[in-house]
Amino acid sequence: MQRLPRVEVVGSRQQELERKYPDLQPDNALNPYRVAPSSRLAVQTLTAKDIDALKPLDVFDLLNHAVGVLSLYQGRKVPYSTRIRGDLYFAYIIDGVYVPSEDGGRILQNLPVAAIEQVEVVRDATALTLAPMVDFGRPSGAPNDGYIVIRTRRPLRTEGTATVRVESYDTHSASLYAGTANDKSYISALASNYDSAGRAGEFMAKRSSSGMVRAGLGDGWWRVEAAVFGDSTQQQIQAADPRQSTLALQRWELRPIDTTFAALNASAQWTEHQTTTLTVSAYRLQATLVAGTALPGISPRIFPNRSSIDNIDLKHTIRVDDSLVRFGLQRMRWDTPTGASYFEGYARKETITGLFATAEQGFFDRRLTIDIAARRDQQKILQGVDHYYAYEVLFQQPSIQNRTLPADRFVSLGAAWNPSVDWKFTARAYAAGQGAVESVPAVGNKVLDPER
């Protein structure tokens, strides 16, 4: 008898990652951002393989490769804006850290691409079970219509990468990543630096330094992971083209904008049927916006900005055969003592408490699944403003103190059918009822006819 040599079959890095870190598997109960089968065609995932092939400059450049997503550089207070099918109302989740869309437009350009493992674009009602569907700073605005979920890099084994880039306009950058992992634990660290003089005469220099550390420990049924990120950036906001804008003489810059966030993610599989995930996170932003001009003799205006968000996210999943039930709650607190962008000088403080539940039932070996989900978000404005007209020079912003807004309610019903390997049909219905601020007087106290 002849013994054959051992042959080890190794899949792609994404497959290896999903085996080692089950929270990346789309259908695993350990995945806190799992969506129902009827929603998965609406979720797009950009993996490390995609990032390596596309070689994006930053997160926004990467998002421009997602279907229906458009990121624009528009300068000044919020340098970047991102639209999902034309909609601005969504938020970001980075390793469990909640980041509102406006803050994301200011800081995510400074998250090194080398730190990203994958990005998921979760659209519309698909996001109902992820996190609150309302955002801070909108006492009667639109609900969140999705999330962009960013997962940062974790090692498969002892590994490391170093990248150095030299580009035009006196631009150079470098990043260094190293990590190691075994069956029970891992630790990794990343450092990055970017420096650019920008195109001459267009006021677009930028200097950024950032670092990140991740670590995890687990033994069979439990796992605890921690992530900490910090960045300090000084950035000039590109001046407008004098041929196209009357704002060409403005000289705006962030000097500096410092970002820190940290997350603790824990999970436990109590039995083969019961799984709990818990995320505790904190986000801090401190910036100084300098609004200057190229005209001589005019001093710049200085706008300080401090903002913080604390978040607790608890989810529990019960899975028996082809039946699944998941329920959870989130509690978030937002505080900006200096006032947020466009509302400087108005201290604002809010809380959001969210509850959700979802149930799925599979039939015919899960070739057919039906799911239903419901969510209730309660927003309380401890201190804020009614910003129905944002031009404070003309209208004084009425203040809000300790106002509990009417609850927002969301419900969805979905079905997915796989008649064969090559075909999949999905259907989804969604309804939302938003609690708006009531009794808002029109300008000049004009009485308006009721809506029909």
pLDDT digit string, tens, across residues 387-398: 554 454 445 566
Q: Of 249, 286, 268, which is closest to residue 107 (Cα–Cα)? A: 286
What confidence tens digit (pLDDT) does each residue in 358-387 have?
999 999 998 999 999 999 999 998 988 765
Token code pair at residue 443: 């300008």
pLDDT confidence of residue 134:
85
Domain ranges of the chain: 13-445
What confidence category does residue 73 fall into, taking pLDDT thresholds of 50, 70 and 90?
confident
Q: Residue 276 pLDDT more than 50? A: yes
CB distance 430 to 412 below 8 Å: yes
- Answer yes or no: are the C-beta atoms of 267 and 248 closer than 8 Å: no
Residue 339's Cβ-count burial label (10 Å; 0-12, 13-18, 19+) is: buried
Which three-class secondary structure state does DSSP give residue 115?
helix
| Separation between Cα atoms, residue 38 and residue 126, nearest integer Å | 9
Give the containing element (helix H, strand E) for 303: strand 301-320
DSSP 334: E
- Cα 375 from chain centre: 19
d(C-alpha 38, C-alpha 426), whole Å: 5
At residue 435, the pLDDT reads: 64
Token digits for 428? Answer: 């989804």
One DSSP character per residue, 434-449 reads: ------PPPGGGPPPP
Phi then psi for 113, rounded to 5 degrees? -60, -30
Q: Could you tell me the CATH superfamily of domain 13-445?
A: TonB-dependent receptor, beta-barrel domain (2.40.170.20)
Q: Which DSSP letter does residue 294 get?
A: S
The pLDDT assigned to 135 comes to 83
Q: What confidence category does residue 11 fall into, taking pLDDT thresholds of 50, 70 and 90?
A: low
The CA-atom distances, in angstroms, between 290 and each of 137, 236, 307 are 23, 9, 17
Q: What pLDDT score was predicted for residue 155?
A: 95
Residue with more model confidence, 83 or 362: 362
- Of 131-135, 262-266, 338-342, 428-432, the range with the highest mean pLDDT is 262-266
Q: pLDDT by residue (tens digit) across 189-248?
A: 999 999 999 998 888 899 999 999 999 999 889 999 999 999 999 999 888 888 888 788
Backbone angles phi, psi at 48, to 5 degrees: -60, -35
Assess whether pLDDT exceeds 70 at residue 10: no
Cis peptide before 256 (omega within 30 of 0): yes
| pLDDT reported for residue 346 | 85
What's the confidence (pLDDT) of residue 451? 56
Tens of pLDDT along 145-191?
789 999 999 999 999 999 999 999 999 999 999 999 999 999 999 99
- Token pair in block for residue 190: 């990343």
Q: Which helix (H) or strand (E) holds 339?
A: none
What are the tens digits of pLDDT across the range 86-97? 777 788 999 999
Residue 349: predicted pLDDT: 93
CA distance 367 to 353: 35
- Look up residue 119 and give its two tokens: 């990005």
* The pLDDT of residue 413: 94
Mean predicted confidence (pLDDT) in 315-325: 96
pLDDT value for 394: 47
Prediction pTM value: 0.89
Per-residue pLDDT band for 325 (boundaries 50, 70, 90) equals: very high
